[in-house]
Structure 1
């Protein structure tokens, strides 16, 4: 009898925790309802990237798309759409912008004119590596700023990606 009560109590706690997580995520989605629509990758550009005929400025970088967060903080994950969820991805730097072609999710497109800065960081919501484990792109849409994190399979890529992304902004590489 005591074992059955302990099992029921444990299940009740787990159900309660899941309900609290759902409630928090729902409230975050409501709080972010005023965020602008994110830009969609042009269909012809996406087709060229997937066919391998796009004019990449750098060799594509494979890795994991960590998430997109608001400028409120590195843990304020965007809950609108699927840009807040991690997925395997290939990052492409093109003259028109940055494309994170995600496996099993919509691609994330950042037009060149929206890129504000690039840097490395120890973490972002969904992935904490420590050191300079992530490439983070700061970008702007309709007055809202976002950080998008990407963990490359080869961390040496960051040495070329950060200056190249900053060059898109017209900043000093």
Structure 2
């Protein structure tokens, strides 16, 4: 009898923890939906790709307040397989099973390689391609973990050129 009560108590504690995490994430999404501007839709005509597409994993988008401050609006905070595409009009995170993330060219501020973003941390310092962009005064960082990290230098150079920041810099975050 005592064992059954202990098992029930552990189960109730676990259920309360899961409920608390869900409640907090829902409240974060509600607060961010009121504060963050709406995200731009993908244009109908994108033109020709500037670089060969890169496959990998879209890690997340975070605010500039912290590399852990994940954006919870819609499905933007969820990791998914993605293909990264660069067009003259902007950058497209074409995500599998989720809405695409479109970053207009005039919103791109910086691009770097980094070690971590929103719970995804690499042991090497160059595991993620991190794109800093601005949306109606809100600075955001979106992360991408490519299958082939050898192309990061090309992507960083191309994104910096589009952003009007061709200089060489260190890693992000």
Q: Note whether the superposition's TM-score is higher than 0.5.
A: yes
CA RMSD of aligned residues (A): 1.2
1:72 to 65, 74, 88: 65
Map 1:52-131 onto structure 2 (within 5 A): 54-130=47-123, 131=125
Contact map agreement 2:29 2:74 (CA 8 A) in 1:
no
Tell me the equivalent position of 1:139: 133
CA distance in 2, matches of 1:127, 1:94: 27
Normalised by the length of structure 1, the TM-score is: 0.91
TM-fit CA distance, 1:26: 2.1
TM-fit CA distance, 1:35: 0.4
The 3-state SS of whatever aligns with 1:140 is strand
Normalised by the length of structure 2, the TM-score is: 0.91
CA distance in 1, matches of 2:166, 2:97: 35
TM-fit CA distance, 1:94: 1.0
Report how many aligned residue pairs link the two structures: 165
1:151 to 145, 148, 157: 145
